[in-house]
Chains A and B, each alone.
Chain A
């Protein structure tokens, strides 16, 4: 199983909106995300920074949250996405 990470921020409204969709996705599919908060946990922040080359080109050249990352293939998606799009992306990763 690929290592899928959701980088999120505690006070990011986009992340807050995506969280229930992630939970729904995990209930309906075998997909599992590691949910790593980056503004209050420097270790998680450094991990996200270490994937900058993979994340930034897909996210307006920024380290945006939420970011969904396949840590093995370095495929990334970010921002608020609708459920079906998120599901398509996630299922391609596993």
Chain B
């Protein structure tokens, strides 16, 4: 299934996926998305507000992400800080917030699976493991 770009004709939200959302999450208008080119999508996103994220901003974002999920950020703050340092180093050096505990393969599709947070609930270190955690230990199963 090939992902494509979609634009809300009301509020200009951009969506990347195999299909557009039925309801625009921002303006709540139904059936508002029309397909656009990758180049057009990049122009919309590139002209948007500066949303640079500091390491602390990202930590807070990850904490928010865990709310309502069965996992939480590792209570070991030192470990979290080391991992987030690595994630940001990887973004600076290699373009994406890659997991510091797995090496990228240089295959675009495969390497997208390493971007933090990754889909770790399907991994052997987490799935059906009582004290499961993601590969790197940034996320742990909530007790």
A interface vs B, CB < 8 Å?
Answer: 7, 9-16, 38-40, 45, 48-49, 52, 60, 62-65
Contact = CB atoms under 8 A, between A and B. Distances in A.
B85 interface: yes
Given A9-B101, A13-B79, A64 B135 contact: yes
B45 interface: no
B40 to A, nearest CB: 34
B122 to A, nearest CB: 11
A16 B103 contact: no
Contacts of B101: 9, 12-15, 64-65
A56 to B, nearest CB: 9
B56 to A, nearest CB: 16
B12 interface: no
Contacts of B69: none
Interface string B49-89: 00000000000000000000000000000010011011101
B82 A39 contact: no
B93 A63 contact: no
Given A39-B90, A62-B135, A49 B103 contact: yes
9 contacts: A9-B101, A12-B86, A12-B101, A13-B79, A13-B137, A40-B89, A40-B93, A49-B103, A52-B105
Interface residues of B, number: 22
B83 A13 contact: yes
A60 B123 contact: yes
A16 B76 CA distance: 14
A14 B79 CA distance: 10
Which of B90, B102, B103, B105 has the most A CB atoms < 10 Å from its CB? B103
B120 to A, nearest CB: 11
A14 B129 CA distance: 18
Given A10-B86, A63-B103, A64-B101, 20 more contacts: A9-B100, A9-B103, A11-B83, A11-B87, A12-B86, A12-B101, A13-B83, A13-B101, A15-B101, A39-B89, A40-B89, A45-B104, A49-B103, A49-B106, A52-B105, A62-B135, A63-B102, A64-B102, A64-B135, A65-B101
